[in-house]
């Protein structure tokens, strides 16, 4: 039997024929070599499968095909068949721009940690802008107290806590906690991540940017109208608040919660604009908006005070100020 790989890279794959080569080439450039790569073809209707097969890759790469059921289901399929000690969930329309594994995996081993965080670059395809997000220093937490009070605060302040492509996870931790991706069209990465954070303690973080996330790519779910998206995003925000409340650290994470909630409302405005049918009552009547405006402004950063002010305007149909915030 072949030796088990140290790392499993799992990619949910749907109609991305033109991006497969870029993604695979970024993996092939890695200095770290002890990995397997599992593309889960989520019922693609284009030539994604043919594009993958044309690359003639070695045995570390494979594609399995399922009926179309969404990225969460595809990731769960990959998680069930992968064999690595650690698992990394990447998107096939993005690329690695460095090697977080050559440094990060030994750090995970030395600290007997369950989770690694690293920085990334975000390229916005709408505005053609590029922004880097990185942690200010290498960090490690030995227990839940250190994770919640120190390391994770830096994560929330500097990089995305909700995405999965800037994290490497010990597979046995996911299995022991029974953590999988939910059946949701939106917010699934955040729900997965916050369920993962709930009981975790030993984690590490490295500096630097190692991944390029292409946001608002034409044809992606974030650039298309999605029915019930707002209700899914609200579930994700509510879960984050529930976990923070369980930790009894509401004040420490209040600004992060507000930023997450405003982001969900901003994305609903984007979603409505894609459908060319705006209805501000969807925002004003939501439980998320009602909870947001009850938060005492004196507890918030000036940036979040401005965000809530713009959110209140959008709830009264004045979308343009919030649109400016999107840029």
List the single range of 15-29, 69-83, 266-280 with lowest mean pLDDT: 266-280
Beta strand residue intervals within 76-162, DSSP E: 86-89, 95-96, 115-124, 129-133, 139-141
Q: Give the N- to C-terminal CA distance of the chain in Å, as an integer.
A: 52
pTM: 0.93
Tokens of 265: 């409302």
The string of pLDDT tens digits covering residues 212-230 is 999 866 655 555 567 788 9
Alpha-carbon span 231 to 209, nearest angstrom: 32
Alpha-carbon span 73 to 56, nearest angstrom: 26
Q: Which residues contact 222 (CB under 8 A, 6 or more apart)?
A: 215, 216, 267
> Are residues 154 and 256 in contact, defined by beta-carbon separation less than 8 angstroms?
no
Q: Which residues contact 263 (CB under 8 A, 6 or more apart)?
A: none
**What percent of the chain lies above the pLDDT cut of 90?**
82
pLDDT at 275 over 90: no
* 75 bridge partner residues: none
The string of pLDDT tens digits covering residues 167-185 is 999 999 999 999 999 988 8
């Amino acid at each position: 039997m072949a030796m088990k790989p140290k790392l499993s890279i799992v990619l949910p794959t749907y109609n991305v024929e033109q991006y497969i080569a870029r993604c695979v080439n970024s993996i092939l450039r890695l200095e770290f070599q002890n990995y397997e790569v599992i593309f889960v073809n989520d019922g693609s209707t284009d030539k994604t499968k043919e594009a993958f097969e044309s690359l003639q890759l070695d045995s570390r790469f494979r594609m399995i095909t399922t009926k179309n059921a969404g990225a969460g289901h595809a990731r769960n399929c990959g998680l069930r068949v992968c064999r690595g000690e650690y698992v990394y969930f990447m998107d096939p329309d993005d690329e690695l721009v460095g090697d977080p594994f050559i440094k990060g995996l030994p750090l995970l081993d030395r600290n007997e940690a369950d989770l690694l965080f690293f920085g990334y670059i975000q390229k916005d395809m709408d505005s053609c802008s590029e922004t880097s997000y990185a942690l200010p220093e290498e960090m490690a937490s030995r227990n839940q107290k250190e994770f919640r009070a120190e390391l994770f605060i830096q994560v929330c302040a500097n990089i995305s806590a909700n995405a999965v492509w800037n994290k490497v996870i010990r597979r046995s931790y996911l299995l022991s906690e029974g953590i999988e991706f939910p059946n949701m069209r939106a917010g699934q990465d955040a729900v997965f991540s916050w369920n993962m954070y709930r009981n975790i303690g030993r984690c590490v973080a490295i500096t630097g940017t190692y991944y390029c996330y292409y946001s608002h790519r034409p044809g992606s779910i974030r650039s298309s109208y999605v029915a019930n998206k707002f209700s899914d995003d609200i579930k994700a925000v509510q879960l984050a608040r529930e976990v923070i409340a369980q930790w009894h650290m509401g004040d420490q994470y209040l600004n992060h919660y507000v930023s997450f909630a405003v982001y969900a409302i901003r994305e609903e405005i984007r979603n409505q604009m894609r459908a060319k049918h705006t209805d501000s009552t969807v925002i004003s009547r939501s439980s998320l908006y009602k909870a947001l405006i009850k938060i005492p402004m004196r507890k918030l950063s000036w940036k979040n005070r401005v965000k809530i002010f713009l959110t209140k305007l959008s709830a009264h149909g004045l979308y343009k100020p919030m649109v400016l915030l999107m840029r």
